[in-house]
Amino acid sequence: MAGNGRKLMLGGHALVWAGDWTPEGARKAIGGAAKAGYDYVEIALLDPWKVDIAMTKDLLAEYGITATSSLGLSPDSDVTSTNPAIIAKGDELLRKAADVLHGFGGTEMCGVLYSNLGKYPGPASKENRANSVAAMQRLCDYAGDKGISVSLEVVNRYETNIINTGKEALQFLDDINRPNAFVHLDTYHMNIEEDGMEAAVLECGDRLGYVHIGESHRGYLGSGNVDFDTFFAALKKINYSGPIAFESFSSAVVDPALSNTLCVWRNLWSDSDDLASHALAYMKERI
């Protein structure tokens, strides 16, 4: 069975509602996701040391939803580096993120866990790739002991030089060779790099562990260029049954680090609740 025996869940990225994880921001994001009818909220753990685990766990219980986590690495924690000190910082960050996720009861860790989230000046060397594979093996072993699945997000050429297509991600998984490592596909990035919206999904099959639903301009679903009908039909063909998170960014909600990294310059929406409700209805129609 595709989706690796897990439950089909619909979630929303926390940045749809809040740009920080203060008690106020956390309540806004968790409460907003619950109010819209989502099963879970995806929490960005770019700095997991700043996340209050007990507060987060209590809010999730209060609103009756669950949470997943995502993050990308920075240049000073880039596990593709040839500098052992930088790799060690990356390992430390990833382990801490796994600890925090486990602390508030989550079992799904995703994102660009394997490299810096940003444009590289050239292609990855064999050493860069090998260092990334080794780091993901260490992360999968550590996370696996906590019952956590690790899904590696395939992103476009301007955000990594390691894996830009589903096919490359599958080859990367073969090298990692861990049972809790999966592919994370994102329609925003697929729209840039893939040959259509079906082939990568079918190729990944039961190795697809996490999905991001994002429009070509990161705004309202159905108002851009992504062929969502074909994508959701492909998910049905593989009987996908894992997490599906709506992801959208606007200058109306700003995370000090992530918004700039993702080049969120435009105000594509200002009403988080309307955006989230529309997205959930849009996804449900196609599932």
Which residues are the active-site residues? 153, 247
Alpha-carbon gap, residue 116 to 137, rounded angstroms? 17
Q: What are phi and psi of 184, to 5 degrees?
A: -120, 110
Q: Which residues contact 194 (CB under 8 A, 6 or more apart)?
A: 165, 166, 200
User: What does the DSSP 8-state code read for residue 104?
Assistant: T
Distance CA 106, CA 269 (A): 29
Residue position matching structure tokens 């590289």: 120
**Cα–Cα distances in angstroms (integers) from residue 234 to residues 189, 204, 227, 241, 242, in the given order:** 16, 11, 11, 12, 14
In the chain, the amino acid numbered 8 is L
> How big is the chain by its Cα radius of gyration, in Å?
17
Of the candidates 265, 246, 266, the residue with the CA atom closest to the CA atom of residue 188: 246
Inter-CA distances, 134 with 81, 153, 163, Å = 12, 17, 15
